[in-house]
Amino acid sequence: MAILKSSTSRRTASDYSAKTIQVLEGLEPVRKRPGMYIGSTDIGGLHETLREIIDNAVDEALAGFAKNIWISLNPDNSATVIDDGRGIPVDIMPQYKKSALEIVMTKLHAGGKFGGSAYKISGGLHGVGSSVVNALSEWMQVEVKRNGKIFRQEYQRGVPKTKVLEVKKSNGPFPNVSLGLKTGTIVTFLPDRKVFLTLEFDFDVIKRAIRERAYLVPSLYFHLFDLRGEKRELHYYFEGGITSLVSKLNDNKEPLHKPIFIKKQEKDVEIEVALQYNNGYSENVESYVNVINTVNGGTHLTGFRMALTRAINDYGKKIGSFKNDEDSITGDDTREGLTAVVFVKMPQDKIQFEGQTKGKLGNAEIQPLVQTIVKEGLSTYFEENPGEGRRILEKVYLAAKARLAAKAAKEAILRKGALEGSSLPGKLADCQEKDPAISELYIVEGDSAGGSAKQGRDRKFQAILPIGGKILNTERARLDKIIEHEELKNLIIALGMGIGESVRFDKLRYHRIIVMTDADVDGEHIETLILTFFYRHLPEVLKEGFLYIAQPPLYKIQIGKEILYAYSDEDKERIINEKSKQSTANRLQQKGNAEAVVGKRTAVSIQRYKGLGEMNPEQLWETTMNPQNRILKQVTIDDAEEADAVFTMLMGDEVPPRKHFIQSNAKMATLDI
C-alpha cells in the first residue's frame, strides 16, 4: 500500500473563543425563503437540517477535537446531536454585548468557519447551518460544556427564549453521555411544522449519511439511536478511512490487489485517494469535498481520471507492454472494474460549487493539483509493487481489447443502418408522438403480451417493444457481447441514445420507459435483468427518473356483473370484504333483517392472472396502461453504495453471497404453487 503523508497543525481549545466568531447578517431571510438555504421544505429539506447539525459536530472532529458523535431521533420528532468537541464558545462578544453562543445560533453567517481561525475545513452550509436550522425549528435547545460548567440557551423559531444560563445538569435524552462529557455541545431541535411538509426523520436516510461520514473521518465514533416505536441503534467506526470505504464497495467482488492509498497536502488543500480494481466490468467511483458527496463529480474527479490514465500508460510503455501510441489505453479502459474514492479537504470559503446542490466541484486549481499528486502516487506504487502493477495493466488491456471489439461490432451494425435510428427494430411498434417528454416505451415480456399491448395501447404516445424471454445478464458481460445480443440491440436502437462511449442522453426518444413483465418468478427475473442493464450501462435514465415498473393486476374479481381488479392479496381481501358488507347492507335495507339473513348471496368469481398474455387488449389497457387507472413504480437510486452491492450480489459471478442471501430470505418468499 502506497501512502503519501504530510504533517498538519492542530489548534488548541484556548484558540477557540469569541474572538474567532464573525457575523455577516441576520436571520430574517431564512423563514421567508427556506428553500434557498436547505434546498426544499419536503423530506429532503427536513433531513438537511439534521445533516447540518451533524456536520457541525463532524467539523470538530475534522479540526482534531471531537472523537464521538451521538445522534438521537426522539419520540416527539425532535432530534439530538451531541459531540465531545470543544463546545461552542459562551463568552461575551464585545461588539454585540452577547454570548458567542447566542450569536452563532441566531445570526446568519456567524461562526468559526469565517475568518479561518477556528476551522480550516468544514462541511456545513458555509457556516450558516446552526442558525438556519434554529430559524426553521419550532424550538431548539443548546447545551455547552466548557471549563467544567454547563451552559444552556433555548430558542423558539430562532428567537432566544432565555439568556445563556449556567445550569447544574443537562436535561438532554442521554444523561449518562452528558455526565461523561468533559467538553462538548448538545443540540436538540424540533423542525417547524409550519415550514416542513413532514416532521418524521427516515432512519435509513440518516444511517446512510452517518455511515458515509464515518468512512471519511477515520477514528470518529458515531452512535445512532432511534427512540421512536421499535428502538434501534447503530454504531460506526472505521480506522481505515476511505480505504475501508473502497474495501466495502468491493464486497462480493474479487479484488485484483490491495487498496492503493495516496495522501498529500499542498498548502491548505489535502488530497486523499483510495482505489482498487476488481474482476468485474463496472466502475464505482465516489468523490467528496470535505464531507460533501459531489455526486456529479467536478474538477477533482477529472484530475484523478487524467492521472490514472497517464500513470497506467506511462507504466505500460516503461515495461514494454505498449510499444507505440496505437497500443495506448483510453480513460474508458481504466474504468472497467475500478472502485475508487477521491476526497478533497480544503478551506470552506475557497470552495466553488456548480449549482446550489453542491453536486459538482468547480475549482479550476484543484484539477492539476489532484492530477499531479495522484500521478506521482501511482507511479511510486507501480515501481514498488510491479506484480500488482502488471495485474492492473492486464486488466485495462483486456478492457481495451473489449472496447475495440465492441467498436467493430457497433460499426458492423452501423453499416446495416441499425444503430443510427434510420432503421428501427421490426418488433418495435413506435408511437406517433415525437416529443420525448410525452412519449412512453413499454418493454413487454413475450410476444403474446406484446401483441395485446400493441392492440390495447394509445398509439399516439405509447410505443411497445416485446422482448423474448430472459435477456443477457449484463453484470457479467462486456459491451461487445451486449451489442451483439439481439434483444438488447433492439432496445438500444429503440431508445436512440447509444451506449458506451457514444451515449448521448439528449437523443433519448422516450422519457417514460416502463418495464411490464408477468407477476411470477420468471417475470421478476426478467425485470431484474432489465434493471441491471439500465443501472450498469444507462444509469442516466435512472438518475433522471425516466424508468418505471408497471403493476399488472394479480386477480380479476367478478361479483355478480361487476368486474374489479386486485393488485395484491391484501387488495383482493379488501375488495371482497367491502363488497360483502355493501351487499349485506343493501339486502338489509331492501328486504328487512329477517329475510336478508337467509337471502341468496351474490356469487364471487376470482381469477388469478399468471401472465400478461391472459388479459385481452381491453383489460391490459384498462388495468396496466391507461394513465388514469394504472399503477407505476418509479425506479430511483436512493443509496448508490447499497444498489451496487445488491446488483453485484444478485447478478455477479460470486455464488456464496447469493446463496447466503437466498438462505437468509427464503422464509420471506411468496411461492405460487
Q: Which of 458, 520, 571, 614 is catalytic?
A: 520
Residue 62 domain flag: yes
Nearest to 129 by CA among 47, 52, 31, 27: 52
The confidence score (pLDDT) of residue 121 equals 55
Considering 407, 439, 456, which residue would you say is the last residue of a domain? 407
Q: Do 224 and 233 touch, CB atoms closer than 8 A?
A: yes
Q: Which of 522, 639, 653, 654 is catalytic?
A: 522
Whether 458 is catalytic is no
Pairing of strands 547-550, 512-516: parallel
- For 514, list phi and psi in degrees, rounded to 5: -120, 120
50/48 Cα distance (integer angstroms): 5
Domain identity same for 380 and 259: yes
Whether 226 is catalytic is no
Task: Please say whether the dihedral angle defined by the alpha carbons of residues 501, 507, 511 and 515, taken in this order, is positive or negative.
Answer: negative
**At 641, which helix (H) or strand (E)?**
helix 640-651
What pLDDT, in 10s, does the model give residues 40-85?
A: 899 999 999 999 999 999 989 988 899 999 999 999 999 999 999 9
Residue 373 domain flag: yes
Domain identity same for 231 and 247: no
What are 592's strand-pairing partners? none
CATH number at residue 332: 3.30.230.10
Q: Do 489 and 418 touch, CB atoms closer than 8 A?
A: yes
Residue 543 domain flag: no
Whether 520 is catalytic is yes
Domain identity same for 282 and 297: yes
Residue 58 domain flag: yes
Residue 418 domain flag: no
All cell numbers assigned to 441 = 416505451
Residue 451 domain flag: no
540/506 Cα distance (integer angstroms): 11
Around 395, how many Cα atoms within 13 Å sit in the side-chain half-sphere?
Answer: 25
Q: Which of 518, 527, 622, 644 is catalytic?
A: 518
Longest dimension (CA), the chain: 98
**At 265, which helix (H) or strand (E)?**
strand 260-266
Residue listed under C-alpha cell 447566542: 102
Is-above-0.75 flag for pTM? Answer: no
Task: Please say whether the dihedral angle defined by the alpha carbons of residues 202, 205, 209 and 211, taken in this order, is positive or negative.
Answer: positive
Domain identity same for 256 and 325: yes
Considering 236, 254, 289, which residue would you say is the last residue of a domain? 236
Domain identity same for 111 and 218: yes
Whether 333 is catalytic is no
644/123 Cα distance (integer angstroms): 26
CATH number at residue 222: 3.30.565.10
The confidence score (pLDDT) of residue 31 equals 83
Q: Do 206 and 46 touch, CB atoms closer than 8 A?
A: no
Domain that residue 57 falls in: 16-236
Considering 374, 390, 407, which residue would you say is the last residue of a domain? 407
Q: How many domains does the chain have?
A: 4
Residue 229 domain flag: yes
- 667 residue type, one letter: K
Q: At what angle do helices 299-318 and 366-384 cross, to 10 degrees?
A: 30
Domain identity same for 231 and 262: no
Domain identity same for 322 and 378: yes
Residue 197 domain flag: yes
Domain identity same for 112 and 216: yes
Q: Do 277 and 284 touch, CB atoms closer than 8 A?
A: no
The confidence score (pLDDT) of residue 161 equals 95
Mean pLDDT (10-residue bins), the chain, 673 residues:
39 64 65 84 92 92 92 95 94 90 84 51 55 94 93 95 92 76 94 94 94 93 94 93 94 93 94 95 92 91 97 92 74 93 90 78 96 97 96 92 79 56 79 96 92 94 91 86 89 90 89 92 90 92 94 88 86 86 70 54 80 88 92 86 79 79 73 56
Domain identity same for 230 and 263: no
Domain identity same for 316 and 389: yes
The confidence score (pLDDT) of residue 414 equals 55
Domain identity same for 171 and 150: yes
Domain identity same for 64 and 207: yes
